[in-house]
Amino acid sequence: MLKKIEGSIPLTLLLIAAGFLAYGYLTSLLKMTDFMIFCIFVLGFDLVYGHMGQLSFGHMLYLGAGAYGAGLSAKYLSPDPFLALAAGLLVAGLAGAVLGPLLVRTTGACFALLNLAFNQVGHFLILVPLAPITGGEDGLSLTFSSYGWVNFSNLTFIFYLVLAVLLAVAFLILKFESSPFGLLLKSVKENEIRVRFLGYNTYFYKWITFIFSAALSGLAGALTVLNYGYTNPSFIDPTRNVEVIFAALMGGAGQVIGAVVGGTAFMTISNYLARYILRWEMFLGVALLLIAFRFRKGIWGYLREV
């Protein structure tokens, strides 16, 4: 049954939409908007981790680039929310394009730590040398223009907008998975050198994937800024990288529904468990141990094989 859903793009999108609508109206649209934005981030991160097979410890850099791209655009160029979204996407994609050629030539621990190093640099730049324009530790408080019913301070509007963006991102990734590019990336993950022997410059394809991944993470950052109306250094904080890694592992890497399930599960634990248990992070640790020893393919990976 679950495999059947996963095999069909419309059913997958329907499942995601129905799940968030039900969860949103049963709990809170505000929280669910947050959850969906985080899922977009997990989907972007998973392009590099689940599909390309490289673990990045520094994807908060691209989320932050998107957030600051959107924030600075709103602060210094125009309060147009769509311009802010485009700026966030562009700045993060550009960061991926610039850093990608170096990063995709590395693998394993080197790839993970170089990403972390760039994230640290980005965090420092925002906090110290660029503080006069980024607001430093205080961040930036922002207002966005409204156009009739297009109003980013309206909770329902932003919920449906983010849901539409999430579905569009999921659709694109599902189409990508079954495309020749998707096949290529799957093969690069399995054995990169063999792919090179078929005549592919794998660095180029990995670079393109990295740019998409960074841009999607930036999109999540820009949406976060539109949702909250401010940006601050926590959006680029390298210590928060563990969140997206954890979510991807929890849901099941390399699967669209897995990323969404993982993102939602992580946000549920961190938002709701924290109300009742002071040191809720311990449960994340226990969950990680369970995943490592019992559910190697994550929650979705396990469910689809039951």
Binding residues for another protein, rule: CB under 8 A, are 180, 183-184, 186-187, 190-191, 193-202
Task: Write down the least CB distance from residue 204 to another protein, Å.
Answer: 10
Task: Write down the least CB distance from residue 252 to another protein, Å.
Answer: 15
Q: Nearer Cβ to another protein, position 37 or 188? A: 188
Residue 211 contacts residue 2 (beta carbons within 8 Å): no
Q: Nearer Cβ to another protein, position 6 or 243? A: 6
Distance CA 7, CA 1 (A): 10
Residue that the structure tokens 């503080």 belong to: 131
Task: Write down the least CB distance from residue 297 to another protein, Å.
Answer: 13
What is the token pair recorded at 164?
């539409």
Residue that the structure tokens 């109300």 belong to: 275
Task: Write down the least CB distance from residue 161 to another protein, Å.
Answer: 35
Task: Write down the least CB distance from residue 199 to another protein, Å.
Answer: 4
Residue 174 CB contacts under 8 Å (≥ 6 apart), including other chains: 9, 12, 256
The torsion of the CA quartet 102, 116, 86, 179, rounded to 10 degrees, works out to 60
Q: Nearer Cβ to another protein, position 26 or 193? A: 193
Distance CA 138, CA 135 (A): 6
Task: Write down the least CB distance from residue 105 to another protein, Å.
Answer: 12
Paired with 140 in beta bridges are: 231
The CA-to-CA distance between both ends of the chain, in Å, stands at 10
Distance CA 246, CA 224 (A): 19
Q: Nearer Cβ to another protein, position 195 or 261? A: 195
Task: Write down the least CB distance from residue 165 to another protein, Å.
Answer: 29
Task: Write down the least CB distance from residue 202 to another protein, Å.
Answer: 7
Q: Nearer Cβ to another protein, position 187 or 268? A: 187
Q: How far is CA 182 from the centre of its chain?
A: 19
Q: Nearer Cβ to another protein, position 22 or 183? A: 183
What CA–CA distances, in Å, run from 24 to 32, 103, 224, 225, 246? 5, 38, 17, 20, 23
Q: Nearer Cβ to another protein, position 183 or 290? A: 183
Distance CA 225, CA 290 (A): 34
Distance CA 102, CA 118 (A): 11
Phi, psi of 256, rounded to the nearest 5 degrees: -60, -50
Q: Nearer Cβ to another protein, position 201 or 239? A: 201
